[in-house]
Amino acid sequence: MSRIVNDNFGPAGRTTTAVKANAKFTAVATATSSLSEVNVRHEGIDARNLADNYIVVKSIYADNDNSSEDFQYNMVGTYGGAFEVNHTGSSPSAGSGLLLDMSSSPMVLKNNDLLRIFHACVLTQDDGYGRVTQPATDYFMITFPVWDITSASLSNFETLPAHDSDLNNAATTQVDIDLEANKSGGIALYAMTGRNVVSGTDFLMRRNGMSVWHYKHGGADQTIYGIRINANGPYQYVQIGTSVRGWEQVTVSSTGITHVKMSHGHVGALQMRGGQP
Amino acid sequence: MTYKWTEGSQRTNALLDSDEVNREYNNYKNVLNGGIDRENIPLNAVTDLHLKSQAFWSYDLTRGIQPGLSTGVTHITYHTYHGGWRTDPASARTLTLREGMLHVDFSCWFQFVQLHPANEQRWCRFQLLLDNSVIARTGKDYSYVGNVNLSACVPVAGGAHTVDMQWQFTPPAVATAASTDAFFFSGGQLLINNRYR
């Protein structure tokens, strides 16, 4: 509270004294040192008074230029493993991929900030490299966001909080899913089978995956230098135990698909502040 | 301060009468006692450090949503589900909202065993409800794995409101054993943004 509560001089017609005048302006000085909502007129602040980005602190976006030739991943007779969804063409430059590069201007999450990472991609079976005709074999690929919170060199991308670290393992691994340390929000799944409705006729498998990861940051400031979309697979959904489900890595040869393309992808991140419960 | 006072500055006058001081001083006093507005505050002066939480918007985030009918992370079976819309308890949120816009966003992945017979093609679908009215709904998805992203922005009155996410899966065919693994979804995240400024 910083209202001024002193009274008028009085009675009318008398000459003021320096002591009384000083008391009044001391009250002004006191009030202005702790201005609060009681000093500001109701709805008195306009948009022009607000600094930029007072709700959306930072937003960043990248896509792959909508080229169907981007992000080709050749799965030749091996298990999969995590890999970057990179661009292989000439525009944009090779290697940029679905990367949000914030190394020159990092995102700094403060306590209670809301971070939203959304991404989508299209997985296409490369026609001519095998096709799948068994709809009951539930093979799938995944894409997921990872972040680099180590340095601006963007050389240490790691899984997001509460994701199984094996999600981003380049070796053959199994991803656990539970309700504690191995949550699975923000991960997009791409089915790898379709149905060859006419025997001997080529068909093109094409799947659209998308997901959003919502995260309320708690604690000390967290600097994020980069966010990237990685992929992994092929997987098969399995029961591991009584309380754990998982995605088990399967061989590429068992899927019948040796080449896939990840295309038409985009990734965006939104940092919002001031709405915490 | 860039504000132009409506009264003349007392510094330019000889102060002979207390009424003169009172009149001109009270002008300052009135501005400070609740009259400060956009004229007094410089451009871009108010940053997020000056703003109270929820000054412009508020959010409610629920993570780790998966079907309440499953045990742990196991599939729903036809022992407990025979079709129809189901509200997941974890995603039923009753909140006190302020008049403005409501942005509801739900995302998850799902998995089920698809069957071959043409008469038993399985599917699932999801929807969002605000006070039991549908505000967003997916179509039937026949893929054995996939993703759901539902998002809706609707105007909302002030007061208590309930947001639910509901899901639906194919009812069992005549020959389907009740113990058959039917359906599972996980990674569910429900974000509710209330924007009122």
Tens-binned pLDDT, residue by residue, of chain B (197 aa) = 444 445 555 555 555 667 777 777 787 788 888 888 888 888 888 887 888 888 889 999 998 888 876 555 567 888 888 889 998 877 889 999 999 999 999 999 998 877 655 567 889 999 999 999 999 999 999 888 899 999 999 999 999 999 999 999 998 877 777 777 788 888 899 999 999 97
- For the record, the structure tokens of A221 come out as 């400031």
Partners of A11 on chain B (C-beta within 8 Å) are 18
Contact in structure between B122 and B112 (CB atoms under 8 Å)? yes
Angstrom CA distances, A80 to A171, A230, A273, stand at: 8, 12, 38
Average pLDDT over residues A165-193: 82
Q: Which member of B47, B114, B188 has the closest CB to residue A51? A: B47
Q: What is the pLDDT at residue A249?
A: 81
Q: Each residue of A124-161: pLDDT tens digit?
A: 775 555 555 554 467 888 999 999 999 999 999 999 99
Contact in structure between A62 and A31 (CB atoms under 8 Å)? no
Q: What is the pLDDT at residue A135?
A: 46
pLDDT band of A2, cuts 50, 70, 90: low
Spatial distance between the Cα atoms of B28 and B96, rounded to a whole number of angstroms: 39
Residue A58 has pLDDT above 90, yes or no: yes
- For the record, the structure tokens of A188 come out as 């997009």
Backbone angles phi, psi at B174, to 5 degrees: -55, -40
Other beta carbons within 10 Å of A212: 24
CB contact under 8 A, B37 and A41: yes
Contact in structure between B116 and B128 (CB atoms under 8 Å)? no
Residues 31 to 90 of A: which have CB under 8 A from any B CB? 31-32, 35, 37-41, 44-46, 48-52, 54-55, 57
B17 has a chain A CB within 8 A of its CB: yes
Peptide bond into A92 cis (omega under 30): yes
Residue A214's beta-bridge partner residues?
A116
* Closest chain A C-alpha to B9 CA, distance in angstroms: 14
* Closest chain B C-alpha to A90 CA, distance in angstroms: 31
B189 has a chain A CB within 8 A of its CB: yes
Identify which has the larger pLDDT, B38 or A15: B38
B180 has a chain A CB within 8 A of its CB: no
**What own/partner pairs with CB < 8 Å and gap ≥ 24 does A52-55 have?**
A52/B44, A54/A273, A54/A274, A54/B46, A54/B47, A54/B48, A54/B51, A54/B56, A55/A272, A55/A273, A55/A274, A55/A275, A55/B56, A55/B57
Q: Which helix (H) or strand (E) holds A259?
A: strand A259-272
Q: Which helix (H) or strand (E) holds B19?
A: helix B18-32
How do strand A222-224 and strand B86-87 relate by DSSP bridges?
A: unpaired
Spatial distance between the Cα atoms of B30 and B26, rounded to a whole number of angstroms: 6
Q: What is the pLDDT at residue A86?
A: 74
Average pLDDT over residues A17-42: 79
Q: What is the pLDDT at residue A93?
A: 54
Question: Position of tokens 């039923």?
Answer: B92
B49 has a chain A CB within 8 A of its CB: no
